[in-house]
Structure 1
Amino acid sequence: MAIQFRSFAPAIRFAIALLLSLAVLVRPAFAQSILRDAETEALFADMSAPLIVAAGLDPRNVKVVLINDPSINAFVAGGQAVYIHSGLISAADNINEVQGVVAHEIGHITGGHIVRFGEGMKVASGISILSLVLGAAALAAGAGDAGMGILAAGQQAAMGKFLAFSRTQESSADAAGVSFLAKAGISGKGSLAFFKRLQNMEYRLGIPQTDSYARTHPLSGERIAVLEHQYQSSPSWNAPIDQTLEARFERVKAKLNGFVSEPATTLRQYPERDKTVPARYARAYAWHKSAYPDKALAEVSSLLTTNPDDPYFLELEGQILLESGRVAEALPPLREAVERTRNQPLIAALFGHALIATEDPKNFDEARTVLKAAVARDNDNPFAWYQLGVVYEREGDVPRAQLATAERYNLEGVAPLALANARQAMQGIPEGTSDWLRAQDIALVSEAEVQKKKKR
């Protein structure tokens, strides 16, 4: 038996590898960092709201999240969140194209596709396990070639079933996206244009356009053929692009490129002879990244001359001043930005950081107030919790500094540190209070995660 086992063990390992590969296919990658920006998130909320309503969902419960990844991609990963790669924003020609992508991804949410992926996995796994058993039996009986043949055929059938299931879900999301765009009064022209751009990329990569059998998605050409008539038949086909949203998109695209790209790349893309708002915005980020604060501030100053009340220009001015060591000068524009956005949490967190950075105890009370308001409205911001912990520590409130630190590590997924800080906070905060109960919640969740990792 030992000899026979060694003879077919590689085949068994091969079949098991298939099962693992199927699991990998449905596991989204979050190694990339999430990019958070007040202006970008406001744009995403406004551009997606009509689509979310058209899908029968509540805009307050659906988020569009930006991922720092240069590839052209978007996905959903459970819950009601759409993740868009920064590369997709850079590649899109207009806001309408991004709305087409979001409509498709919302189709995955309403279709429950992440939950239903288990169905495809179950079918594929069943085929693969059956082939594993039959192949192993054949190998054990001495029919080596037949056994390997059964394993290979079962493996191919399992993968084929899974990929067919995935393509069906993609087609379903495409159809849902058509419906949501139509109901929202948004043209499908951008969606078609984006698919055609993807098709051109497939041509350049040498991907055959005749058979999508071995792909998780239908070929772009197949999707275009199906969707073109549906989009053109929609009463929204000739709906114009919302020019207000488009202007905001061009700004966000420019600032994103300025933030994620190498400064030399940004300056080539947006040369100094280009005096448009997006170009000046992008260059401000490029110069700031290049450690030329005066040039960066000159670009922001020109933007503020055009629109002195723009809160995002004020935010950028304050950020550049703060990160250039001119802390006191950063306070007025950041304070005004907070006021003009009605205490937008991300901007408020930056302002709180600036107040602490003055090292003036007179500013700590305002910093604590600003930061507590920020985390109350947006408790998913580790940076804000970190700053709140700093100000508590500066004021001598160590237990609440530990609680804020526990909140931060809990959000960052560092369970051991979240657990340690939550336990320490519970020792110094009166038992039964809201802060003590929150520390207890973090401790329980973190301890469960630590134990789970130990079992692994």
Structure 2
Amino acid sequence: MALTRSHSRPFFAAFCALLATVALSVQPLAAQSILRDAETEALLRDMAYPLVEASELEPENVEIVLINDSSINAFVAGGQAVYVHAGLLNAADTANEVQGVIAHEIGHITAGHVVRFEERTKGAQGISILSLILGVGAALAGAGDAALGAIMAGQQAAVGNFLAFNRNQEAATDQAGARYLSGAGISGRGMISFFEKLRNAEIRRGYSQSDDAAYTRTHPLSGDRIQFLRDQLRKDTAWDAPDDPELQARFLAVRAKLFGYLAKPERTFQEYPTSDQSTPARYARAYAYHKDAQVENALAEVEKLLKTDAQNPYFLELKGQILLESGSPGLALEPLRRATDLTLNQPLIAGMFGHALIATEDETNYDEARDVLRAAVAKDRFNPFAWYQLGVVYARQGDIPRAKLASAEQQVMRRNYPEALRNAKDAEAGLPVGSPDWIRAQDVALQARAELERLRDER
């Protein structure tokens, strides 16, 4: 018995560690911060459109979502949404490279890999659980070493099986991405060059590129992927197709814009010095100056951008944003109104315009703010900022039931279900029975109540 106790302590420590490993391997993706920007979303949508068509998915059903993460990554996580990290856009040199990544991720969607991933995870768990049962049985019989060996063998089998499945998926998805590029008439040069970037990054970080290391990887070796894809894509008629110059110009502007928005100002000024008078450089510096509270310099950069393209709605949006956030909402109205008109009431831009109208604290602007914000949320219901502003203007006009409904809409999106339920019930009590808003208040209350019950059941 003494010997059994001495082995049982390391056994149970290892047992707990292995359980933790299993748990971590099957955790769902953590909630991440989504970046919303009208110009970036329009660019990503235009990049993806021909690829989505080539895949025979419906373009209106596929979303490209930007994640605020500096790592070089893209992924799918259920449904028909492709998530692209901001770091990937920063690492890419061309729009064509980003299209190569998007084509690959669309391949995951068409193959249903997220569903199959969940199925395979359960299979891997089954192997692990069986080994755990055998290990616990051996431990209870006093054979601690045998127990640990059974568990570790089962873990190794589960992980190896699971990683092999992932590598096969990735290889198949590379082929699908190549087909979609070909079908869209887009060169695969970008896909190859981006994989080369990934391989170089792996080498710099010390990741082995040998065949012996392949067993422990979730993806095929980058060198193997490059060789296979190069052989396939060079034969394609689209290989020598030129890059779209307009799309490339838009990409460079957006990449610089995101850099200026996300990076510390000093980094932006190093990357885009004042000696660089290009549009992307001015765009990046305008955001950096704004972040650094250098309002005059920020506005000077925007004015120079507008001299090159006075009808660019995103330059106008930036001018309005700088003026609004520096305490001049009245001056922000004209550029934001023009940007809203030029984009046919793009919801994110319209939301900022509505905010500026309210921020003037001029009651004569409230009707316009209400109408602008109602149009914004009608186009994009998943816009908590616009819902919040709509609630503010309703409250200022004394329409408390609709202010409560707007607050409920916002709180549901923020997953504050108790507050959403209270506001929805208050709104329902004060709205005309049978009206569209009264019916919507009921719907929001039902949604919030269902989510609360789900969370209660999970606990």
Question: Which category of TM-score, normalised to the shorter sequence, fits these structures?
Answer: over 0.9
Equivalent residue number for residue 281 of structure 1: 283
Equivalent residue number for residue 253 of structure 1: 255
8 A contact 1:258–1:282 mirrored in 2:
yes
Equivalent residue number for residue 357 of structure 1: 359
**Aligned letter for 2:22?**
L
CA distance in 2, matches of 1:186, 1:293: 42
Please, which moves more after superposition, 176-185 or 419-428? 419-428
- Per the TM alignment, residue 353 of structure 1 is displaced from its structure 2 partner at its CA by 0.5
CA distance in 2, matches of 1:450, 1:309: 47
CA distance in 2, matches of 1:334, 1:14: 56
Equivalent residue number for residue 399 of structure 2: 397
Please, which moves more after superposition, 344-353 or 119-128? 119-128
8 A contact 1:76–1:83 mirrored in 2:
yes
Instruction: Give SS of 1:83's match.
Output: strand
In the alignment, structure 1 residue 139 sits paired with structure 2 residue 139: yes
**Aligned letter for 1:357?**
A
8 A contact 2:8–2:139 mirrored in 1:
no
Instruction: Give SS of 2:84's match.
Output: strand
Once the two structures are superposed, residues 394-452 of structure 1 have per-residue CA deviations (whole angstroms, 9 ceiling, x without a partner) of: 00011110110111111122212211211211111123322122111221221222233
Equivalent residue number for residue 107 of structure 1: 107
Q: After superposition, where does 1:327-338 map in structure 2 within 5 Å?
A: 327-338=329-340
8 A contact 1:182–1:236 mirrored in 2:
yes
Once the two structures are superposed, residues 203-226 of structure 1 have per-residue CA deviations (whole angstroms, 9 ceiling, x without a partner) of: 111111112211212221121122
Once the two structures are superposed, residues 266-323 of structure 1 have per-residue CA deviations (whole angstroms, 9 ceiling, x without a partner) of: 1111111111111111111111111011111101111111111111111111111111
CA distance in 2, matches of 1:14, 1:360: 62
CA distance in 1, matches of 2:385, 2:263: 23
- Per the TM alignment, residue 328 of structure 1 is displaced from its structure 2 partner at its CA by 1.1
Equivalent residue number for residue 302 of structure 1: 304
**Aligned letter for 1:17?**
A
In the alignment, structure 1 residue 30 sits paired with structure 2 residue 31: yes
Q: After superposition, where does 1:364-443 map in structure 2 within 5 Å?
A: 364-443=366-445
CA distance in 1, matches of 2:434, 2:428: 10
8 A contact 2:15–2:148 mirrored in 1:
no
Identity of aligned residues (%): 58
- Per the TM alignment, residue 10 of structure 1 is displaced from its structure 2 partner at its CA by 4.2
Q: After superposition, where does 1:190-209 map in structure 2 within 5 Å?
A: 190-209=190-209
Equivalent residue number for residue 345 of structure 1: 347
Taking only aligned residues, the RMSD between alpha carbons, in angstroms, comes to 1.6
Once the two structures are superposed, residues 43-68 of structure 1 have per-residue CA deviations (whole angstroms, 9 ceiling, x without a partner) of: 11111100000010111111111111
Which runs of no fewer than 5 residues in structure 1 stay unpaired?
A: none
Please, which moves more after superposition, 225-234 or 178-187? 225-234
8 A contact 1:64–1:81 mirrored in 2:
yes
**Aligned letter for 2:70?**
P
8 A contact 1:187–1:237 mirrored in 2:
yes
In the alignment, structure 1 residue 179 sits paired with structure 2 residue 179: yes
| TM-score normalised to structure 2 length | 0.95
Equivalent residue number for residue 449 of structure 1: 451
Instruction: Give SS of 1:236's match.
Output: coil
Instruction: Give SS of 2:310's match.
Output: coil
- Per the TM alignment, residue 325 of structure 1 is displaced from its structure 2 partner at its CA by 1.1
- Per the TM alignment, residue 133 of structure 1 is displaced from its structure 2 partner at its CA by 1.7
Instruction: Give SS of 1:342's match.
Output: coil
CA distance in 2, matches of 1:63, 1:297: 33
Q: After superposition, where does 1:145-224 map in structure 2 within 5 Å?
A: 145-210=145-210, 211-224=213-226
CA distance in 1, matches of 2:166, 2:432: 52
Please, which moves more after superposition, 121-130 or 181-190? 121-130
Equivalent residue number for residue 264 of structure 1: 266
CA distance in 2, matches of 1:13, 1:427: 53
CA distance in 2, matches of 1:116, 1:433: 44
Equivalent residue number for residue 244 of structure 2: 242
8 A contact 1:392–1:398 mirrored in 2:
yes
CA distance in 1, matches of 2:279, 2:14: 61
Instruction: Give SS of 1:212's match.
Output: helix
Equivalent residue number for residue 127 of structure 1: 127
CA distance in 2, matches of 1:437, 1:6: 62
Equivalent residue number for residue 46 of structure 2: 46
- Per the TM alignment, residue 22 of structure 1 is displaced from its structure 2 partner at its CA by 2.6
CA distance in 1, matches of 2:253, 2:167: 35
**Aligned letter for 2:360?**
T
Q: After superposition, where does 1:60-99 map in structure 2 within 5 Å?
A: 60-99=60-99
Please, which moves more after superposition, 432-441 or 399-408? 432-441
- Per the TM alignment, residue 123 of structure 1 is displaced from its structure 2 partner at its CA by 1.7
8 A contact 1:410–1:446 mirrored in 2:
yes
CA distance in 1, matches of 2:14, 2:320: 62
- Per the TM alignment, residue 95 of structure 1 is displaced from its structure 2 partner at its CA by 0.2
**Aligned letter for 2:268?**
T
Instruction: Give SS of 1:399's match.
Output: helix
**Aligned letter for 2:370?**
R
8 A contact 1:15–1:128 mirrored in 2:
no
8 A contact 1:123–1:161 mirrored in 2:
no
8 A contact 2:324–2:332 mirrored in 1:
yes
CA distance in 1, matches of 2:189, 2:455: 48
CA distance in 2, matches of 1:131, 1:421: 51
CA distance in 2, matches of 1:105, 1:29: 19
Instruction: Give SS of 2:71's match.
Output: coil
Equivalent residue number for residue 22 of structure 2: 19
